[in-house]
Amino acid sequence: MKTMRAAVFEKAGSIVLREVPKPAPAAGEALIRVTLTTICGTDVHILKGEYPVKAGLIVGHEPVGVIEAVGAGVIGYEPGERVIVGAITPCGQCRACLSGAPSQCSHSGVGFEPIGGWRFGNTINGCQAEYVIVPNAQANLAKIPAALTDEQVVLCPDIMSTGFSASERGGVRLGDAVAVFAQGPIGLCATAGAKLSGASLVIGVDRVPARLEMAKRMGADVVLNYEEQDVVAEIKRLTGGGVDVAIEALGTQQTFESALRVVHPGGTVSSLGVYSGHLSVPLDAMAAGLGDHTIVTTLCPGGKERMRRLMSIVQARRAPFESLITHSFSLDQIAEAYDLFGHQRDGVLKVAIRP
């Protein structure tokens, strides 16, 4: 039996490199040889046991690679072609997909399932491995233009798609004022997405000077350090009462509450964070329910057309997305990569993992 190396979740606190069987594609699937991937904050939640997955699961959900083989029924794709696949892999045929909610794909043809479309490293084996099986390949394989490198497109499957979705779901309009709380990788892409959506004032909030500087490169007009000033008061001063859309990109009570406090009546909080533990909504911040606030959440949009559009933005050089990759590791160094990324040392933003 042929084998491959893969990062496997064993138990809370333990993701290890293992030798596992190399899979083969069934009908409708494709086998991808992974050439580049990365670690997401959600993977760290899995490592810590804050998000439950089954023991023995291969983790990771941001694949860039080369088609190794395709199963029966997959047409228009050939072995050797470079592709990316979204972190969310909709089937395109179920009720959720056909109702315009592909991120909640049920893969069963009936019903809606929360986070149903997120399968890699959640309900099926993921891509922190030498090979990965892509389900519903016809709907999810996106060919990489020859002009783009793996490094340029590795953020498209999740970080860019999620970050941009904050403005899309939040309804950012031309001339809006937008505040983005937390300038980690997703927050930085949310900052770029707000600017690309037409916001005339984008305010980036964080405490790390290097991240605030990167926020300026990604499109922020103003950056605020919450350790140095009352950012809620300053945002209200800058905007004359509050922003149109506040984006929460971390997943903590503090950032969620601050986002709610800086939107004007009738404004929108667009939440991207993955929350662990209890989340509460303070009554005063939402005007006891009388402020006409809208709160929306988004699960990373996927599918091959979404990936094509994101790659076109990369190719047009609308923002320095590649600069968000600050460290590189081989798959053999996966434990070291998790340690660095999980503890946010050495100015890390995103790590590249090379199987």
Choosing from 297, 326, 341, the residue where a domain stops is 297
Is the pLDDT assigned to residue 341 strictly greater than 70?
A: yes
Say whether both 227 and 304 belong to one domain: no
Per the structure, the count of domains in the chain is 2
pLDDT over 90 percentage in the chain: 89
Say whether both 174 and 69 belong to one domain: no
Give the pLDDT of residue 170: 98
Supply the CATH number for residue 180's domain.
3.40.50.720
Say whether both 279 and 308 belong to one domain: no
Say whether both 199 and 279 belong to one domain: yes
On average, the pLDDT of the chain sits at 95
Extract the tokens encoding 38. Answer: 């990365």
> Residue 235's closest CA among 255, 211, 264?
264
Distance, CA of 162 to CA of 274 (rounded, Å) = 12
Least confident of 41-45, 130-134, 217-221: 41-45
Least confident of 38-47, 69-78, 91-100: 91-100
Phi, psi of 31 (to 5 degrees): -105, 125
> Residue 247's closest CA among 262, 257, 238, 259?
259
Say whether both 223 and 315 belong to one domain: no
Q: Are 17 and 7 in contact (CB under 8 A)?
A: yes
Choosing from 297, 318, 345, the residue where a domain stops is 297
Instruction: Find all residues with CB under 8 Å of 121, minimum gap 6, and list them.
Output: 43, 46, 53, 57, 58, 59, 60, 61, 127, 128
Say whether both 123 and 208 belong to one domain: no
Distance, CA of 353 to CA of 338 (rounded, Å) = 10
Mean pLDDT on 292-309: 96
Q: Are 286 and 260 in contact (CB under 8 A)?
A: yes
Say whether both 239 and 307 belong to one domain: no
Mean pLDDT on 227-256: 97
Give the pLDDT of residue 113: 57
Mean pLDDT on 51-61: 96
Distance, CA of 31 to CA of 209 (rounded, Å) = 42
Say whether both 121 and 186 belong to one domain: no
Instruction: Find all residues with CB under 8 Å of 66, minimum gap 6, and list them.
Output: 32, 33, 35, 79, 80, 81, 82, 83
Q: Would you tell me how many other CB atoms lie within 10 Å of the CB of residue 308?
A: 15
Give the pLDDT of residue 10: 96
- For tokens 């190719």, what's the residue? 315
Mean pLDDT on 88-92: 94
Rg (CA), the chain: 20
Domain extent at residue 139: 3-159+300-354
Is the pLDDT assigned to residue 110 strictly greater than 70?
A: no
Give the pLDDT of residue 64: 98
Say whether both 285 and 318 belong to one domain: no
Say whether both 32 and 80 belong to one domain: yes
* Confidence band for 111, pLDDT divided at 50, 70 and 90: low
Write out pLDDT tens, residues 258-289. Answer: 999 999 999 999 999 888 778 998 888 888 88
Say whether both 141 and 171 belong to one domain: no
pTM of the model: 0.94
Is the pLDDT assigned to residue 114 strictly greater than 70?
A: no
Q: Would you tell me how many other CB atoms lie within 10 Å of the CB of residue 246?
A: 32
Choosing from 281, 297, 313, the residue where a domain stops is 297
Give the pLDDT of residue 108: 56
Give the pLDDT of residue 225: 98
Helix (H) or strand (E) holding 44: helix 41-48
Say whether both 170 and 137 belong to one domain: no
3-state secondary structure of 206: strand
Q: Are 90 and 24 in contact (CB under 8 A)?
A: no
Supply the CATH number for residue 14's domain.
3.90.180.10
Distance, CA of 162 to CA of 35 (rounded, Å) = 22
Is the pLDDT assigned to residue 164 strictly greater than 70?
A: yes
* Confidence band for 338, pLDDT divided at 50, 70 and 90: very high
